[in-house]
Amino acid sequence: MLNDMNIDEWYYKYVDDVHNYLVYFVGSQDVEDLVQETFIKAMSGIKGFKGKSSQKTWLLSIARNVAIDDTRRKSKIITMDKLGFISSQETLEDEIEKLQTYESVLDCINKMKKDYREVVLHRVVIGLSITETAETLGWSQSKVKTTLHRALKKLRASLTNDKEGGLAYDYV
């Protein structure tokens, strides 16, 4: 059942989470239209919210569907924005190396099959819990754990075998 919060309160409570999620999902800082569309869909579907998941998870599920629809419309590959990736305290060489590493990781993630990309996005990039990821993707918790394990194993292998940079990361 709905608690006593209305959609306006949800907006103020979760707009940053929805915005950040969409930035990572579509790879652009320009997601205001998608954020707006997410809350419009939430408002029109609020009666369908049964409270089986958290409000945040429900909104992120809507945002995911909005982003997928938008991506299909634009026929673009999911990428992640580089903004904020470089610290002002780093040297130019450090910044370039970090950016190349970032691009290599993104390239490997983008080459993964859809389920792997999505679980890495939700668990690693966004930082959702296993439960939240399962609710957002409509999967079981077991599927989230298994798919994440396989995705990280594949990502680790891809990064270790990267021909250009010879990357090898133990933390992936």
DSSP per-residue letters across the chain: ---S--HHHHHHHHHHHHHHHHHHHHT-S--HHHHHHHHHHHHHHGGG--SSS-HHHHHHHHHHHHHHHHHHHHT-------TT-S-TTS-HHHHHHHHHHHHHHHHHHHHS-HHHHHHHIIIIII---HHHHHHHHT--HHHHHHHHHHHHHHHHHHHHT-TTT----S--
Quote the pLDDT of residue 150: 92
pLDDT digits over 68-97, tens only?
887 776 643 444 444 344 455 556 566 666
**33 token code pair:** 């239209």
Residue from 115, 110, 26 nearest 74 by CA: 26
**CATH assignment of 92-160?**
1.10.10.10
Quote the pLDDT of residue 125: 76
Domain spans of the chain, in order of start: 7-74, 92-160
- Name the stretches of the chain with pLDDT < 50: 1-4, 75-86, 163-164, 166-172
**CATH assignment of 7-74?**
1.10.1740.10
Burial class (CB in 10 A: 0-12, 13-18, 19+), 118: buried
Using a cut of 0.85, tell me whether the model's pTM lies above it. no
Domains 7-74 and 92-160 equal at CATH topology level:
no
Quote the pLDDT of residue 143: 95
The type of residue at 85 is F
